[in-house]
Structure 1
Amino acid sequence: MIESFKKLWPQRAAVEQISSMEELEKHVRIELDDELTHPRVRKTKAEKLQLALERIEQSGLSDEEKRELADLYKKIAAH
């Protein structure tokens, strides 16, 4: 799943450093919380989840990779 995430975000230098599931989950959490965006223009977790799911669906990943990543995003968003 780490490699799938790296394929999804090839332009992010921090993503290349991910080597464990804990790190992967941390990066997904940061994305869903929109922590890399200025506070005044942050989107809600629900909006970020929807955008991530759309990106996953439109990516060139295999159906299995898409399902696994989408499930991970949904699981983390639920907490």
Structure 2
Amino acid sequence: MTEIIQAYQTLFPFRQSATTITSIEQLEQRIHIELLDELTHPRVRKTPSDKLQIAVDRIENSDISDILKVQLIHLYKTVFESVNTF
């Protein structure tokens, strides 16, 4: 398991879906679901940009290493660009 997956799991220790991630592809899929807020009722969903900002804030305020913070934020932004098609 890569360090970036472990860092993500550290950020979300109580999410069952986070504990089952074993590959970068699964991590990208999980971030995709998170950014689209797919697990929330449609009337209360936040926009992908709002969800990205929440994730970036959480990452920046975490205790993970600075290198992992940069890598995770980059991954979130990459996935954001794929879901944020206007």
TM-score (norm 2): 0.90
Runs of 4+ residues deviating >3 angstroms: none
Identify the residue that residue 37 of structure 2 maps to in structure 1: 34
Of structures 1 and 2, the one with the larger relative CO (CA 8 A, separation 6+) is: 1
- Match of 2:21, SS state, is coil
Give 5+ residue unaligned stretches, structure 1.
none
Superposition map of 1:12-51 within 5 A: 12-51=15-54
Gaps of 5+ in 2: none
Tell me how far apart the structure 1 counterparts of residues 13 and 63 of structure 2 sit (CA, whole Å).
Answer: 12
Identity, % of aligned pairs? Answer: 48
CA RMSD of aligned residues (A): 0.5
| Count of paired positions | 79
> TM-score normalised to the size of structure 1?
0.97
